[in-house]
C-alpha cells in the first residue's frame, strides 16, 4: 500500500483483469506502534464481473492492493450495495470448506429452484409501471437472481473474524446483462471490535389480509430510517452498524435486504415461499411448454426432483448430511423453514460521505424487508434495534 494511504490521503489503485478499484476512504494512524490501538479503516472496492454468476475473492483483491492491512485487525465487516450480489455468513462458508468452487456449487444448486427467464412477473416489463420506456429496454430480467439471493440466505452485510489465509467471497448473481458487464460496489471496514451503544424496541404496523405479505421497512410511513439517523446523530458514531432483529416472541416472519419491487415482493416471492418444491417443479414444467424460448442449460430443469437435487448436493457440497437435510427441507415445507434462517439483518454505518456523523449506507435499490407468512397478532411486529460502534 502506498505511504500516502497510510497517512489518510485518498489513494486510488487499479487492478487489471477482473477490474477492481480499491479506495482507502478512512485511515488508521500512521506509523502505529504495537501499543497504539488501530482505528477502524474503510476500503471501498469497485468490481466489474466477467460472468452473470461469479464468485469473487475480495480478500485476494485487497491483498494485491493493500498488502496485509486486514491482517492487522481482528475482524472485518463486508457490505454489498446490491440486491443480486452479497455474502454468505462466515460459519456457513467455513462448513463449505472456504473455497470458491464449493460456494459456487451450493449457489448453483439453489439456482435450480429459481431458473432464469421462467416467466416471473417481475421480468414482464410491460407490467412495470414504475419504469420508463427506455428503462424497460435496459432493465435486466433478474427475478431469479433476487429470489436466489433471498432463498440462499445471502447477506448485504456480514462480519468475519480475520483468519490467516482466509478467503471471503463476493457472490455475484447478475453481473452481465445483454453482454454488458455491470459495475459492482462493496465496502470493507476492518476493526478490532464493536460495542453496543444503544438498544430499543420498535413496533411496526403490518396489518394485512394476505397470508404471505412483505413490508418495506425503508418506507417513510414507518419512520425507521428517520429514527435511526436521529439516534446516530445523538450518539456521534462515525463507523458501525445497525442490527435489526425480530423480537424473540415473533413467529412466522423473517427479514432480508433486497429490492422492494411490487411484482417481485407481492407476487413472485409469495408464490415461491408458499410451497417451494411445488413451485420448483411447476416452473420447470412451464419452461418445457416453450422449449425454444429458454436457454439449453435449463431445458432439463424439470427433471430435477427432490431426490436428484438431494443426491447432487450430497456429492458436491461438503456440508454433511444434517446440513443438507436442513437446506433441502425448505423445498417440501411451507415458508417458515426458509424464513426461520434469517431473523436479523445488519446495515453499515459510515461517515465516508461526509457530514458530522455516520449514516446508514445502502445501495439505491436496497431496503430491509419484513416478510410474514401469517398475519401478526394485532397487526403489529416488534423489532429489536441495536446500534454498534466499531473500535
Question: How do beta strands 359-360 and 54-57 pair?
Answer: unpaired
Residue 125 pLDDT > 90, yes or no?
yes
Q: Are 212 and 338 in contact (CB under 8 A)?
A: no
pLDDT the model gives residue 318: 54
**197 contacts 387 by C-beta, under 8 angstroms:** yes
> Three cell numbers at 14?
487499479
Say which residue the cell 489513494 belongs to.
11
| Intra-chain end-to-end CA distance of the chain, in Å | 22
Rounded-to-integer distance, Cα 366 and Cα 84, Å = 10
For residue range 312-361, list pLDDT tens digits in order.
555 555 555 555 555 554 444 444 444 445 899 999 999 998 888 999 99
- Regarding pTM above 0.75, the answer is yes
Q: How far apart are CA 371 and CA 270, in angstroms?
A: 9
Query: Per-residue confidence at 124, pLDDT binned at 50, 70, 90?
Result: very high
Other Cβ atoms less than 10 A from the Cβ of 312: the count is 15
Instruction: Summarize pLDDT for 77-98 with one digit per residue, the tens.
Output: 999 999 999 999 999 888 888 8
161 touches 90 (CB < 8 A)? yes
Q: Give the DSSP H or E segment for 104.
A: helix 100-111
Amino acid at each position: 500500500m502506498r505511504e500516502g494511504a497510510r497517512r489518510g490521503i485518498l489513494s486510488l489503485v487499479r487492478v487489471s483483469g477482473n477490474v477492481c478499484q480499491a479506495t482507502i476512504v478512512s485511515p488508521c494512524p500512521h506509523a502505529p506502534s504495537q501499543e497504539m490501538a488501530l482505528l477502524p479503516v474503510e476500503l471501498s472496492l469497485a468490481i466489474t464481473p466477467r460472468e452473470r454468476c461469479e464468485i469473487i475473492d475480495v480478500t485476494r483483491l485487497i491483498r494485491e492492493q493493500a498488502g496485509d492491512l486486514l491482517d492487522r485487525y481482528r475482524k472485518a465487516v463486508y457490505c454489498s450495495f446490491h440486491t443480486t450480489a452479497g455474502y454468505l455468513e462466515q460459519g456457513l462458508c467455513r462448513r463449505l470448506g472456504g473455497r470458491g468452487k464449493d460456494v459456487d456449487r451450493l449457489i448453483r444448486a439453489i439456482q435450480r429452484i429459481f431458473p432464469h427467464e421462467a416467466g416471473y412477473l417481475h421480468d414482464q416489463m410491460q407490467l412495470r409501471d414504475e419504469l420508463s420506456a427506455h428503462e424497460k429496454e435496459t432493465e435486466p430480467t433478474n427475478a431469479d437472481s433476487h429470489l436466489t439471493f433471498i432463498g440462499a440466505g445471502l447477506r448485504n452485510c456480514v462480519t468475519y473474524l480475520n483468519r490467516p489465509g482466509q478467503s471471503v467471497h463476493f457472490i455475484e448473481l447478475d453481473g452481465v446483462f445483454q453482454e454488458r458487464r455491470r459495475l459492482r460496489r462493496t465496502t470493507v471496514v476492518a476493526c478490532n471490535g464493536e460495542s453496543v451503544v444503544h438498544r430499543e424496541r420498535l413496533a411496526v404496523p403490518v396489518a394485512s389480509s394476505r397470508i404471505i405479505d412483505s413490508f418495506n421497512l425503508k418506507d417513510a410511513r414507518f419512520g425507521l430510517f428517520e429514527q435511526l439517523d436521529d439516534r446516530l446523530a445523538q450518539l456521534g458514531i462515525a463507523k458501525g452498524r445497525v442490527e435489526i432483529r425480530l423480537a424473540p416472541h415473533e413467529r412466522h416472519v423473517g427479514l432480508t435486504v433486497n429490492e422492494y419491487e411490487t411484482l417481485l415482493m407481492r407476487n413472485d416471492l409469495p408464490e415461491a415461499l408458499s410451497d417451494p418444491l411445488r413451485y420448483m417443479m411447476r416452473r420447470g414444467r412451464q419452461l418445457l411448454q416453450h422449449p425454444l424460448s429458454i436457454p439449453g442449460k435449463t431445458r432439463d430443469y424439470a427433471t430435477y426432483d427432490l431426490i436428484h437435487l438431494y443426491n447432487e448436493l450430497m456429492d458436491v457440497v461438503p456440508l454433511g448430511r444434517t446440513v443438507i437435510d436442513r437446506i433441502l427441507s425448505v423445498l417440501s415445507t411451507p415458508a417458515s423453514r426458509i424464513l426461520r434462517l434469517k431473523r436479523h439483518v445488519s446495515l453499515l454505518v459510515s461517515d465516508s460521505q461526509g457530514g458530522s456523523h455516520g449514516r446508514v449506507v445502502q445501495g439505491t435499490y436496497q431496503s430491509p424487508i419484513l416478510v410474514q407468512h401469517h398475519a401478526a397478532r394485532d397487526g403489529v411486529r416488534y423489532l429489536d434495534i441495536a446500534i454498534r460502534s466499531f473500535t
